[in-house]
């Protein structure tokens, strides 16, 4: 299975002086944890890191100290996650029929989750890892007034990996450019193109490290995981 890792962000919400994926948590960089999980996932055979060229040396230095046996390609990122993934798709090997797309910032995903998504994408055109929402969610207008409360039973928090048929995803990304769609995950492009996207049960610990508080949570999870087995958590 081919894996694209969007890693070209600027980490505004983290407030760091560098790409947040270079920050350390539990003695390794975020990108290192993500790459080690991909390495341990038997289903992954190729890795494309979508990143800004100014980060390539730092990333290569980190990788040199990891035991990664799988081929890694560096792909230039764009100004948005959507643009970065678009670039990543163009750089996939010609024989890639399916692809998993996984945020570099989701460094706690387990190898089991990669493998579950890699298996599931062989049987559907698109999927996302996701978990049921635990909070009651409100739709709120610009003035801070609640407009509605969606039925929580139907609400899931999207994670990554997200998996897709490559040909269809390239078509949906191209349509997104034509239509000027701005989306925060790739599944939204499939949805707008009317293509079914399936849910694969994600992991409660598969958080996207976005703010400094998330770093502290990731530190707790990794130190707690060290005592456990590190298998896929429901
Ligand atoms: N132009 C971009 C923006 C984001 N990403 C990647 O998409 C993932 C999810 O994005 P996010 O967590 O929002 O990262 P940032 O965009 O860096 O964060 P912020 O929005 O706070 O700047 C991250 O692994 C990030 O590196 C990317 O590849 N290209
Ligand atoms: C793709 C994603 O992780 C699904 O929850 C999320 O949409 C990424 O959002 P970001 O603003 O690019 O971090």
Domain that holds residue 75: 2-225
How many independent structural domains does the chain possess?
A: 1
> Average pLDDT of the chain?
96
Average pLDDT over every residue of 169-190: 98
With bands split at pLDDT 50, 70 and 90, how would you rate the model's confidence at 5?
very high
Average pLDDT over every residue of 135-148: 98
Assigned domain for 231 exists: no
* pTM of the predicted model as reported, rounded to 2 decimal places: 0.97
From atom 1 of ligand 2, which residue's Cα is the shortest distance away?
185
Give the 3-state secondary structure of residue 216.
helix
Assigned domain for 33 exists: yes
Assigned domain for 232 exists: no
Residue of 84, 155, 208, 211 to test ligand 2 pocket, by largest number of atoms within 8 Å of CB:
208
Give tens-digit pLDDT for 46-64. 999 999 999 999 999 999 9
What is the longest distance spanned by two Cα atoms in the chain? 52
Nearest to 128 by CA among 38, 198, 34, 37: 198
Q: Distance between CA atoms of 189 and 175, rounded to whole angstroms?
A: 8
* CB of residue 84 inside a 6 A radius of ligand 2: no
| Cis status, amide bond into 161, omega within 30 of 0 | yes
Q: Distance between CA atoms of 199 and 202, rounded to whole angstroms?
A: 8
> Could you tell me which residues are beta bridge partners of residue 73?
48
**What is the percentage of the chain residues whose pLDDT exceeds 70?**
97
Average pLDDT over every residue of 196-216: 98
Q: Give the CATH number for residue 44.
A: 3.90.550.10
Average pLDDT over every residue of 111-121: 98
Assigned domain for 230 exists: no
CB 105 within 8 A of CB 207: no
């Amino acid at each position: 299975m081919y894996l694209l890792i969007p890693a070209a962000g600027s980490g505004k919400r983290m407030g760091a002086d560098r790409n947040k994926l270079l920050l350390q948590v539990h003695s390794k960089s975020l990108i290192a944890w993500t790459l080690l999980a991909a390495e341990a996932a038997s289903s992954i055979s190729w890795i494309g890191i979508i990143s800004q060229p100014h980060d390539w040396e730092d990333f290569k230095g980190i990788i040199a100290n990891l035991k990664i046996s799988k081929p890694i390609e560096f792909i230039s990122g764009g100004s948005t996650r959507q643009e970065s993934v678009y670039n990543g798709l163009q750089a996939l090997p010609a024989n890639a029929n399916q692809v998993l797309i996984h945020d570099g910032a989701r460094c706690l995903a387990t190898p089991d989750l990669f493998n579950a998504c890699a298996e599931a994408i062989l049987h559907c055109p698109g999927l996302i890892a996701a978990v049921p929402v635990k909070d009651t969610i409100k739709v709120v207008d610009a003035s801070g007034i609640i407009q509605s409360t969606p039925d929580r039973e139907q609400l899931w928090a999207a994670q990554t990996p997200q998996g897709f048929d490559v040909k269809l995803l390239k078509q949906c990304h191209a349509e997104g450019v034509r239509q000027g769609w701005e989306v925060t995950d790739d599944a939204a492009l499939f949805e707008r193109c009317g293509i079914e996207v399936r849910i694969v049960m994600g992991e409660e610990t598969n958080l996207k490290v976005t703010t400094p508080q998330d770093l502290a949570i990731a530190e707790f999870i990794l130190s707690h995981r060290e005592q456990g087995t590190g298998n896929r958590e429901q």
